[in-house]
Amino acid sequence: MLYSEKVMDHFSNPRNVGEVENANAVGQVGNAKCGDIMQMSMRIEDDIIQDVKFKTFGCGAAIATSSMATELVKGKHIDEALALTNKAVMDALDGLPPVKVHCSVLAEEAIEAAIADYYKRQGKEFTPKKACGGCCHDCHQEAE
Ligand code: FES
């Protein structure tokens, strides 16, 4: 089986789909490779993510990783959410096939974009973790 049971579960029953009402952090990112788009919206209070939802025009792996990522950051401090890597999300899903690794990067980047928006709305400066310039293979993405 190409996909783990957890991936299939999160793909078939994605958690936290939609848009958070009264969101004060919204981020949208796109994947230049496949053209897919991911949006994360959050309500953050005192730097704690009270609620988070995602919307995607993306593939099944993007849906599964975003679903898992929202579960992992809900209720967490924004610093913890920023520290969440696509690798950790994939591990929580028992892995993804190598050609689908880039899809999980979308979820990580959308979380960062939403938190950057939160900083901006507060008039605070945000230092990006690292800009994804395509492929440094740091995310262990296989060359295609
Ligand atoms: Fe585009 Fe998966 S193929 S996000």
Specify if 144 maps to a domain. no
**Mean pLDDT across the stretch 9-27?**
97
**Mean pLDDT across the stretch 67-94?**
96
Lowest mean pLDDT among 31-35, 40-44, 105-109: 31-35
**Mean pLDDT across the stretch 115-138?**
79
How far is the centre of ligand 1, averaged over its atoms, from the C-alpha of 64 (Å)? Answer: 11
Helices (H) and strands (E) in the chain, counts: 5, 3
Specify if 142 maps to a domain. no
Rounded to a whole number of angstroms, the CA Rg of the chain reads 14
Domain count, the chain: 1
Q: Which of 103, 132, 136, 139 is catalytic?
A: 103
Specify if 141 maps to a domain. no
Can you give the pLDDT at residue 144?
43
Question: Is 0.75 surpassed by the pTM of this model?
Answer: yes
Domain of 27 in residue numbering reads as 5-134
Specify if 20 maps to a domain. yes
Specify if 143 maps to a domain. no
The CATH number covering residue 85 comes to: 3.90.1010.10
